[in-house]
Structure 1
Amino acid sequence: MEQDFRTGFLYWVYTCLTTEAVIIYRVENEVRYIHVYDPLWLVKCSAKDIECLFVNKIGFKVEDKDQAMQFHKVVSICFQKGINADNKWNSKWREIEKEEALKAERERKAREDKYNMLRHTLNQRMAAEEKKRVDENEKLRKLLMKKPKPREEKFKSL
């Protein structure tokens, strides 16, 4: 959504042909149009733009009054409550969302730490078992590498 159109603002109107609000403004010698298909898009305007739209009422045909007033109601609510693109909307729900996000992050970190600890102890156990097997194999290898003692045969004479 374009912003800062208030300096060259001419007017805004609801058109029934495309079911949209059209904001018309001038930049130097050029006339530009902003097509707003959904009234909630107006929330993305800056505070000064919302004030400009609030002061200048929307133009409409009599039969399109209901649809046009939806756009103007959004602008008036944004103007009254201070909802715009320049600031964050503060409410209890925002604080609750932040708390829930922090809580979820702590839980994720705790699970990750527990997993890392279990993985670490498992790795230690597996390494200890592997070392034990290697030591046993090494003992067997050393025993097999030794040359057997020559046996002396004792013959009994007859």
Structure 2
Amino acid sequence: MEYISQECYDKLMEELRYMESVELPRVRDAIAEARDKGDLSENYEYRAAKREQARLLGRIRYKQRVLEFARVIDKSKIHSDTVGLLCKVTITNIGNGKQMTYTLTSTSEANLREGKLSIKSPIAQALLNKKVGDMVEVRVPAGKLTLRVDNIE
């Protein structure tokens, strides 16, 4: 079971519908067209289309499984006194004085470029249940970080 936001749930549903209604028929048409060209044993287009179909069906099954076990969290019921899932937290790296803001999300919606940090990451795990002003030491691949929680929304 994975907890996700309503926004993530809607995005996953939209992606799944697009793959099933647009991409899958396109790939099936490509397979049929390649099959019509004759000998399948030496038909590169046919093999490529079949690989594409297998990849697409795998992605569809993955998204279906994520949605099947997903539980949508109501953001209005989240408390902002401690760090938790779907909280926006501002932290300062004590080592270099750099301030960063992240939203702790499920693995399905994690995207560092958008400031969405997976709840299963080492930094998020260390920040869980911390309050404003708390100091945290985290082991990351680059070494040890000391972080201070500045704000929780």
Q: Tell me whether the two structures share a fold, i.e. TM-score over 0.5.
A: no
- What's the TM-score bracket when you normalise by the shorter of the two chains? under 0.3
> Which structure would you say has the larger Rg?
1
User: If the length of structure 2 is used for normalisation, what is the TM-score?
Assistant: 0.21
Structure (1/2) with the larger strand percentage: 2
TM normalised by structure 1 equals 0.20
By percentage of residues, which structure has more helix? Answer: 1
Q: Which has the higher contact order (CA 8 A, sep 6+)?
A: 2
